[in-house]
Amino acid sequence: MCNTHHPNNIKETKNTSKEGTCNPDEHKKWNRRSFLQALGLVGGGSMMLANTNLTVSRPSPLSLALSQAETDKILIICRLGGGNDGLNTIIPVNQYDFYANHRPLIKIPPSEFINLEENEFAMPKPMNKLENLWGDGQMKVAHGVGYEDQTLSHFRGTDIWANTNLTEEEQSGFMGRYFQELYPSYITNPPESPPSIQIGSLGNLIFRGPENDFSFAISDPRRLEQYIESQGYSLDPSPDCTYGDRLNFIRESTNVTYTYAEAIFDAFNRSTDFGGYLEDDNFARQMRIVARLIKGNLGTKVYMVTLGGFDTHNNQIQRHQELLNSFSEGINNFYADLTASGWDDKVLSMTISEFGRRVGENGSLGTDHGTAAPMMFFGTGLNGNGFIGEHPSIDPNDLTRGGNLANTNDFRQLYSTVMKEWLCIDSDTVNRALLGAEFESLDLGFTCGGVNPNIPGDGETLSHIVTYDDGQTFININNPETTHVDITLFNIIGQKVATLRNEMLLEGQYVINVKEAAGTRLSTGQYIYRIETGTGEFSKSLLIA
């Protein structure tokens, strides 16, 4: 790990040969991964700039593709590090006798229940801030998520959830390898904004490709201000040898870091703080930063945040309840923040954890490493609350080796559903990212319908594209049936700017001149439009020249 306070502090090895030449011993093929290992960067894939964690290698190629996809949806992955105890998170009230017998000292008593489904399932009271999200149809729970022959190792379990390989030591994650070959010149020609960001942890395998860790990790965007004025490194030709290759790689990677530092800082400062987040709470700070970047229209499609400490082998009641309280407070305030700025329907959050906990308590008032556990989903896009799949039986006769739960939902099927139906990735590409495994989509309350760039269309779903001509911006719509259509224009921080149409439209094609329809002066820049009909809601970004 490098600790660098300014680009000029990165020392370049002096070339003792004549200018433009190299020592003959240096003329050998170099390997980028080996070079990163020598620098101590390959594990975390990042370097320290004034105590701010920033990547030195490429962001996720999956996320690069997402940044250009026909969707403006955003995914937040909330990692509950350490192995979350699912039975004390979503309590199986319908199996309470078994539950209480397995956990006589650490069970959640009925007086501490928040009922999610009467006499079926409940949450403990420390999660009370999620009660409103459940009641408003913004929370779903997938029961018994795991995989066959689940490992009980933290390291192996974390890797499997990232790389989706159940049998082999795969060193790339499903996001990191997704478009490994799609953007080979990314470092020298990066997009304007970082496609994926990790906050709170570094080097998760999810974002690692065969050569590099592809994530962009950050702690506090406000620390980036001192780097924005940096001009970066010159990319003048370097000696044609191993030394030159390494020098160029360091220069290019550092320049990307500083380019993205500016983009992040600008987005952060285009938005404002929302009151309510817990002070001095690490998870709350992470969610606050993500909300600021989303509201500032950074353009990043995938975020990962981490709340650690779930390895509750002892004193579980107090430790676990504190963690669940931190989590529920952070999620509740995050969606209140997004709702206030009109972003709540664009952001889906989901939890992951390397494994669950054993059904029975241990002798230290805790639980040991287990298998299946629930995944929680949050967001207006879920279109209602509910449960996915069946809860595993906790009858002692039905438990697997060591007293563990059998999984009833494969985590890869949930990944597949989110990728296809929320992020609108085509099925073949999703299957390749999951190492050839094919899964039917589950009903999480949303589909990718409505985002179809082909005009005209012959399907049953409204389709739309943006075109530009002679300084004007047009929304082209193909409406398959008579329906009421409400088209609203928002600025980059989610504020409503104008209503472009609010009327019944007959079946057919329509072209809307955005400037004319807005009826107000529109400044040059990026906007977002939302189309609401009786059958769905669709949105996309556009530019006003």
DSSP string of 141-180, one letter each residue: EEEEEE-TT----HHHHHHHHHH--SSS---S-TTTTTTT
CA 505 – CA 512 distance, rounded (Å): 13
CA 142 – CA 348 distance, rounded (Å): 14
* Full set of structural domains in the chain with CATH: 69-152+161-201+271-433 (3.40.720), 463-544 (2.60.40.3080)
Our CA angle for 193, 195, 198, nearest 5°, is 110
Q: Supply 11's token pair.
A: 């020392």
Residue 377 Cα distances to 119, 144, 158, angstroms? 22, 14, 19
Which residues, other chains included, contact 313 with Cβ-Cβ below 8 Å and sequence gap of 6+? 362, 364, 366, 367, 368
The amino acid occupying position 264 is I
Q: Supply 282's token pair.
A: 């690490």
CA 407 – CA 94 distance, rounded (Å): 18
| Full-model pTM | 0.70
pLDDT score recorded for residue 2:
37
Residue 445 Cα distances to 31, 144, 377, angstroms? 46, 19, 11
Q: Supply 260's token pair.
A: 């993205």
Task: Show pLDDT as tens, one digit a residue, over the chain (545 residues).
Answer: 333 333 333 334 344 444 444 554 444 444 444 433 433 333 333 333 333 343 333 444 444 445 545 567 999 999 999 999 999 999 999 999 999 999 999 999 999 999 998 889 999 999 999 999 999 999 999 999 999 999 999 989 988 887 788 888 877 665 555 434 344 444 445 556 666 787 876 556 665 555 545 456 665 544 544 443 344 444 455 555 655 555 555 455 555 555 676 777 888 888 888 888 998 898 998 899 899 989 998 888 888 899 999 999 999 999 999 999 999 999 999 999 999 988 998 999 999 999 999 999 999 999 999 999 999 999 999 989 999 999 999 999 999 978 999 999 999 999 999 988 998 877 887 888 788 899 999 999 988 863 333 344 444 677 888 888 888 899 999 888 888 899 999 876 667 889 999 988 888 999 999 999 999 988 887 788 888 887 677 777 778 87
CA 33 – CA 213 distance, rounded (Å): 10
Contact at 8 Å (CB) between 349 and 78? yes
CA 295 – CA 342 distance, rounded (Å): 9
pLDDT score recorded for residue 41:
32
Q: How far, rounded to the nearest angstrom, does the alpha carbon of residue 85 sit from its chain's CA centroid?
A: 22
pLDDT score recorded for residue 499:
93
pLDDT score recorded for residue 469:
83
CA 277 – CA 287 distance, rounded (Å): 9
| Residue 113 DSSP SS3 | strand
pLDDT score recorded for residue 236:
54
Q: Supply 325's token pair.
A: 């309280």
Contact at 8 Å (CB) between 259 and 58? no
pLDDT score recorded for residue 543:
80
pLDDT score recorded for residue 216:
64
CA 61 – CA 183 distance, rounded (Å): 7
Residue 350, H or E segment: strand 347-352
